[in-house]
Amino acid sequence: MAAETLAAHGVAVTVHDRMPSAGRKFLMAGRGGLNLTHSEPLDRFLGRYGAARNWLAPHIEALDPQALSAWAENLDQPLFTGSSGRVFPKAMKASPLLRAWLARLDGAGVRFAMRSHWRGWSQEGALLFSGPDGDRAERPDATVLALGGGSWPRLGSDGGWVPLLAARGVKVRPLSPSNVGVRLDWSPAFASRFAGQPLKAIAISHGDRTVRGEAMIAAYGLEGGAIYALSADLRETLAADGAATITLDLKPDQSVGQLTGRIARPRGSQSLSNHLRKAAGLSPQAINLLREVTCGPLPEGSGPLARLIKSVPLTLTGHEGLDRAISSAGGVAREALDAHLMIKAMPGVFAAGEMIDWEAPTGGYLLQGCFATGAAAARGVLRWMDEPSGD
């Protein structure tokens, strides 16, 4: 996005990419349908960025969800909005959009240098690269670093840039996993039987926050959108206490009283599991989750059972690592950047995307933030090239 913005203003751009082909992490994002952005009102949208909202807001407002959708449609990629408000290409994958985008960049004169591994700076300040043709140095008028965080390292973003910037006096917060699964000590029988099964239309609470959505049972614990939305809070609690407790409401649209009444209906010769499936609308995995937390028999009486369904306690023992995370937190500290995303300690060098210290849940917010900061960094470059003194 930075390259496109700069090329549109007549700037000669070379994109150096250490991978053999462009957009590999973008293609990975498309495996789930390529959730480009979200259609909710902008104020609520901006709230998804938590502590980063205030400084990200001007950049996202300059390339907001409507503008990003128009950009994709201008690449002949029609979009649709799902029932959850998430926005996807109708193709439900990233490859057609990426092909069209790369073709447009090529037409704008953007040059791609593949298998070009950035190694830092020379003592004289030149950018150092190594690649199939050997080592070389380049001295651009300005540099945009869009090096990613630490998630999906096999696709290129392994955080190898962190010591390079730290050595130049740039404040970098440690990279940590975000939008990542959490670990629980399931019994072997539960894990083997229900791994890969969803818990749909639930609410998960931690502290004073409650998130509605879906979670997926994994052999190691839980993952999925509702868990990811609590990612930052859970990570902090786990780091501080070594454990964290969440509660699951398996039927958030029904009150305890309503559930009690449903469960109290005569069940005749039906098993309790079959009765709960029909009367309370619980899936087999939800029913067995109740048995998992009680270590066997379910509470007697419709009232206690209804209360358990509404508040299933689970103790988390940890979270998965960066290599299993969808995204990462940490990176270049906001105070290390000026309002135009230029690194204060390195005039003419700008940062964009996931390498900056911000995080957001899944739902279109991650890609939107990356696109918006890419365009913002490019605008910063244009300003710098017009007024290199920063006046």
Mean pLDDT of 252-274: 95
Whole-number mean pLDDT of the chain? 96
All residues at 6 or more sequence positions from 118 whose CB lies less than 8 Å from its CB, including other chains: 16, 18, 127, 128, 129, 147, 161
Mean pLDDT of 224-235: 95
CA distances from 286 to 157, 260, 321 (A): 37, 17, 27
The pLDDT value given to residue 389:
59
The pLDDT value given to residue 391:
47
Collapse the DSSP code of 32 into the 3-class scheme (helix H, G, I; strand E, B; otherwise coil) and give the result: helix
Q: Are 288 and 320 in contact (CB under 8 A)?
A: no
**pLDDT-wise least confident of 155-159, 195-199, 236-240, 314-318:** 155-159
As a three-state string, the secondary structure of 61-101 is: HHCCHHHHHHHHHHCCCCEEECCCCEEEECCCCCHHHHHHH
pTM given for the model:
0.92
> Which of the four pLDDT bands, split at 50, 70 and 90, describes residue 300?
confident
The DSSP line for 288-307 is: HHHHHHHTSSPPSSHHHHHH
Q: How do residues 196-221 score in pLDDT, each as one tens digit? A: 999 999 999 999 999 999 999 999 99
Helix (H) or strand (E) holding 190: helix 188-194
Chain position carrying tokens 């900056």: 356
Question: What CA–CA distance (Å, rounded) separates 212 from 367?
Answer: 22
In the chain, the percentage of residues whose pLDDT exceeds 90 is 95
Mean pLDDT of 374-384: 98
**Domains of the chain, first to last:** 2-178+325-386 (3.50.50.60), 182-319 (2.40.30.10)
> Which of the four pLDDT bands, split at 50, 70 and 90, describes residue 296?
confident
Question: What CA–CA distance (Å, rounded) separates 255 from 178?
Answer: 32
Mean pLDDT of 290-295: 96
The pLDDT value given to residue 388:
65
- Picking from 224, 139, 220, the residue whose alpha carbon sits closest to that of residue 183 is 220
State both tokens at 368.
């939107």
Mean pLDDT of 186-201: 97
- Picking from 378, 16, 347, the residue whose alpha carbon sits closest to that of residue 169 is 347
Q: How do residues 31-84 score in pLDDT, each as one tens digit? A: 889 999 999 999 999 999 999 999 999 999 999 999 999 999 999 999 999 999
State both tokens at 113.
């240098």
